[in-house]
Amino acid sequence: MRQFRPAELAAYLAAGHTPVLLDVREPWEAGICRLPGSVLIPMRDLPARLAELNKDAETVVICHHGVRSYHAARYLETAGFSAVINLAGGMAAWSDEVDPAMPRY
């Protein structure tokens, strides 16, 4: 599975790439901070909501520190998703490496 550090993802997005940004955190977490345009599907809901996602779309999976997203990304791969990327370090690292103004929790 591919992994991006936050700075890599920021550069990738700035270059015009448009992956699906799949946020697998809980709604209360996304209420504190989230990447614009991200799709919120909490990890526990992912199996029941797979049909909402395109298996062929490049998908970056996001969570707080990169652990849940890693497991969710592995799950997506086993479900037949062909281009899955984990955001290593998650939103905490995004606020450290890309956007220091983003709230932390």
CATH number of domain containing 21: 3.40.250.10
CA angle, residues 65, 68, 69, in degrees to nearest 5: 85
Identify whether 55 is part of a domain: yes
Q: Mind listing the pLDDT tens digit for each residue in 51-61?
A: 999 999 999 99
How confident is the model at residue 7, as a pLDDT? 97
Full residue range of the structural domain in which residue 12 is found? 2-97
Identify whether 67 is part of a domain: yes
33 is catalytic: no
Strand order in the sheet with 2-4: 2-4, 84-87, 59-62, 20-23, 39-40
Identify whether 103 is part of a domain: no
- Count the domains in the chain: 1
Tokens 């992912």 belong to which residue? 46
Identify whether 47 is part of a domain: yes
| pTM exceeding the 0.85 threshold for the entire prediction | yes
Identify whether 84 is part of a domain: yes
How confident is the model at residue 91, as a pLDDT? 98
Identify the active-site residue in 46, 60, 63, 88: 63
Instruction: Identify the band that residue 16 occupies on the pLDDT scale cut at 50, 70 and 90.
Output: very high
